[in-house]
Structure 1
């Protein structure tokens, strides 16, 4: 997001705390306003409604007291519930198409407060090497580069490039390996879990290996090595989900294999009756604020959502797309045979199933699950063989606040 150093500041006579003393008028109107702004509880209520984390950074530059209030952990937790991070756009890429390079597609319209942030995301480049975006989360990109020496995997932060990159060692990206990287939010940073399944001639069973880069650590460390047949039919085309130190791994047609990182054990969950993987019709997501998991299925013109909690699948929502599609349908999105069922695929979803990207014909739609709103966000050209993969790019959280020289103990994000 916007670095505080880039924000223009006015310079005035020094005063104890206020950065802009020339604004301290003594009119009756200002006196009334100061009674509100000098009251912490009232100021917090105002800051909770500013709408965007970028505006919080502006507010933090007013004075030290405002900075303390805006960067308080409890305040930020409340702010995030009221103002979830905004979707800036998505990176479009296809690792199966070497000639296709990742590009950023903004989701329009964007509010003026996020213009600079969107421009930063759009200006990010993987360089001249053959690279692809594999995954996005919280303003970060997991990329895979290939050259004569092999593959290089890294985590980039387009909105905060000064933070550098996280590199996955080539020793982890060994041959005969399929793997995935999973971020784990911890405090004000991230740990990274790289899980892979290794198949060699020396081992009778596939080996699942888990390496972890802890938040604040600079070295990847082997966390788990386990021989198992239960991951021989693992599906890499459906996203894996981390919940409470358990990795939920799609497998075969009807299974979810649960790898417990705490106990180094494996168990299996069956999909709801009548549900199976295939053709990008089923995805998994962790539930919001609960130790459960969502399963989302697209079936004809319906989106069905289940919650797995305990040992049961509970149907929690069904969204009918027929009326939405009839309103938005364009010639390029229609099927040639009106009697044929409309083929809808899930290209991507966001955490807690807040929204989905759905493919229909040559068009891609954004479905806001909570608001039940469907809008077209992309249309591929007739020369495109496939759409590729969509990687939603969200506003980074928490925002990065200016450092206070006299308060080294405060967390600067």
Structure 2
């Protein structure tokens, strides 16, 4: 009887279809599959199978760990990676790096769904580069028609549809002044290989003079802060207007929604709120307020204060010397990057768990990178040259 029980309990792991389903549900940490692959040859065969690895990434697409952040390094013509995890889940800094030829000008715009979006120019060529650091794949995209990158300030966002590990979309955002100051947006789909139709919305400046100079100011003031994705919409800040740009993917529409009524001298960072709606952080001195945009029974969407965080109770601060800035927000992990004079801290907005990471140059901008990465499983990432080759 006991031998039959042992035989039946071992049978499920011998099922060719069941083992992949079990491994698929391991945590999406970099060490999960490498550790599983050490159990036996059969487990290693499953864990290193390219088809299974694609399924693993898709399965955890909306719950990826925060691996670190990317930082633009103008001095060395490179985008470098700063890991935030501890061993054994720490990704080596040199594993994800992107180098550019001397003379190239580039701007790191966005990171989302395991992809990195870069705006690059070299020898009069201007293009977007969409880079997957895990696979090393890169795609170069020309500007949408009718836009001159030398005279138009642009921003952009990159994202993938849920469950899609291959295709992506890039949202192009620009401001222009052809009689009336306006913002325009356009979406590129890697599935079709073309840019979609332009959509636009007027932008009104806060200035009361309404001169041509003021209109120009409103045009060049689309924030270079990364966008935040909330539901079917993506949002940017307009720095010279009391508004927020909202691009809705389902409606393919662009709109300006009111800014929250807060002191504009404070630092504001838009985030995805705990409820899944649009929120923002309002920081003054060492206090952070979390606000959320809610819709009432009349369809009105006011901003409501949800929480206050006293940073002086969490961080080792010197009120006379330290100054705090909000550097970045990690959408999927609900974490915010805070910088002081000497350190960078990663704060989880719900648990208030805090982690310190090394600080780079004072002029750096941090772009959190959340992705599923499995190191040293079956040689999937063995071609290290893919991560360091120059873009030409």
Scaled by the length of structure 1, what TM-score is found? 0.68
Match of 1:192 among 164, 170, 173: 170
1:101 touches 1:132 (CA, 8 Å); kept in 2?
Answer: no
1:134 aligns with 2:109: yes
Deviation at 1:295, TM superposition (A): 0.7
Q: Distance in 2 between matches of 1:153 and 1:263?
A: 21
- Aligned position for 2:289: 304
Higher relative contact order (CA 8 A, sep 6+): 2
Q: Distance in 1 between matches of 2:51 and 2:121?
A: 45
1:284 aligns with 2:270: yes
- Give the superposed CA RMSD: 4.0
- Aligned position for 2:235: 248
Deviations 1:182-216 (A, max 9, x none): 224224032111121123xxx21124332221241
Map 1:360-399 to 2 at 5 A.
Answer: 360-380=340-360, 386-396=362-372
Match of 1:270 among 259, 265, 269: 259
Q: Comparing 169-178 with 314-323, which one deviates more in the overlay?
A: 169-178
- Aligned position for 1:236: 223
2:203 touches 2:241 (CA, 8 Å); kept in 1?
Answer: no
Q: Secondary structure at the match of 1:37?
A: helix
1:156 touches 1:165 (CA, 8 Å); kept in 2?
Answer: yes
For structure 1, the residue ranges without an aligned partner over 5 or more in a row are: 1-26, 403-413
1:220 aligns with 2:210: no
Q: Secondary structure at the match of 2:120?
A: strand
Match of 2:336 among 328, 348, 356: 356
Q: Distance in 1 between matches of 2:139 and 2:192?
A: 13
Map 1:105-116 to 2 at 5 A.
Answer: 105-112=82-89, 115=91
Deviation at 1:266, TM superposition (A): 3.0
Deviation at 1:160, TM superposition (A): 0.9
2:336 touches 2:349 (CA, 8 Å); kept in 1?
Answer: yes
Q: 1:304 to 1:253 in 2, by over 3 A?
A: farther
Map 1:4-403 to 2 at 5 A.
Answer: 31=7, 33-37=9-13, 44=21, 47-52=24-29, 55=32, 62=45, 84-93=63-72, 101-112=78-89, 115=91, 119-121=94-96, 123-130=97-104, 131-161=106-136, 163-169=137-143, 171=145, 172-186=147-161, 187-188=163-164, 189-199=167-177, 203-221=178-196, 223-226=197-200, 228-230=202-204, 233=218, 234-251=221-238, 252=240, 254-260=242-248, 262=251, 264=253, 266-271=255-260, 273-276=261-264, 281-287=267-273, 290=276, 292-310=277-295, 311-326=301-316, 334=318, 339=320, 342-351=322-331, 354-380=334-360, 386-396=362-372
Q: How many matched pairs?
A: 342
Q: 1:31 to 1:67 in 2, by over 3 A?
A: farther
1:353 touches 1:369 (CA, 8 Å); kept in 2?
Answer: no
Deviation at 1:129, TM superposition (A): 4.5
Q: 1:354 to 1:135 in 2, by over 3 A?
A: same
Deviations 1:46-95 (A, max 9, x none): 7534453774586786459x99998779x965x567xx32222222226x
2:246 touches 2:256 (CA, 8 Å); kept in 1?
Answer: yes
1:138 touches 1:394 (CA, 8 Å); kept in 2?
Answer: yes
Deviations 1:99-140 (A, max 9, x none): 76432222242325x647x6521x443344533433222332
1:90 touches 1:107 (CA, 8 Å); kept in 2?
Answer: yes
1:282 touches 1:297 (CA, 8 Å); kept in 2?
Answer: yes
Q: Distance in 2 between matches of 1:240 and 1:193?
A: 10
Deviation at 1:345, TM superposition (A): 0.8
Q: 1:181 to 1:300 in 2, by over 3 A?
A: same
For structure 2, the residue ranges without an aligned partner over 5 or more in a row are: 38-42, 206-214, 296-300, 379-392
Q: 1:349 to 1:44 in 2, by over 3 A?
A: same
Deviation at 1:243, TM superposition (A): 3.9
1:152 touches 1:170 (CA, 8 Å); kept in 2?
Answer: no
